[in-house]
Chains A and B, each alone.
Chain A
Amino acid sequence: MKSYIGTAVFCVGLFGAVASAIIHGGPIARAAEQKSAAQSVSIDNFSFTPKEITVAAGTTITWVNRDDVPHTVVSPDKKFRSKALDTDDQFSFTFTDAGTYSYFCSVHPTMTGKIIVK
Chain B
Amino acid sequence: MIEGTVKGFLGTPASFGADLNLTVQLIMGLALIGGAFLARAKRYAAHGVCMTTVLVLNLVPIAIVMLPSFAQLVVPELAGHLHKRFYLVASVHGALGAGAELLGLYILLVAGTNILPEAWRFKRWKLWMRVELALWMAVLLSGIGTYIVWYTPLLRP
Contact = CB atoms under 8 A, between A and B. Distances in A.
A108 B12 CA distance: 8
Contact of B13 (A70, A72, A86, A109): A109
Interface residues of A, number: 18
A84 B7 contact: no
Given A68-B84, A70-B86, A109 B150 contact: no
B113 interface: no
B5 A106 contact: yes
Interface of A: 45-46, 68-70, 72, 76, 84, 86-87, 104-111
B64 interface: no
Interface of B: 1-8, 12-16, 72-73, 76-77, 81, 84-86, 149-151, 153, 156
Contacts of A108: 13-15, 151
B1 A69 contact: no
9 contacts: A68-B85, A69-B149, A84-B1, A107-B1, A107-B2, A108-B15, A110-B12, A110-B13, A111-B13
Nearest to A67: B153
B73 to A, nearest CB: 5
Nearest to B77: A86
Given A105-B13, A108-B14, 20 more contacts: A45-B153, A46-B153, A68-B84, A68-B85, A69-B149, A69-B150, A70-B77, A84-B72, A84-B76, A84-B77, A104-B5, A106-B3, A107-B1, A107-B2, A108-B151, A109-B4, A109-B5, A109-B6, A109-B16, A110-B12
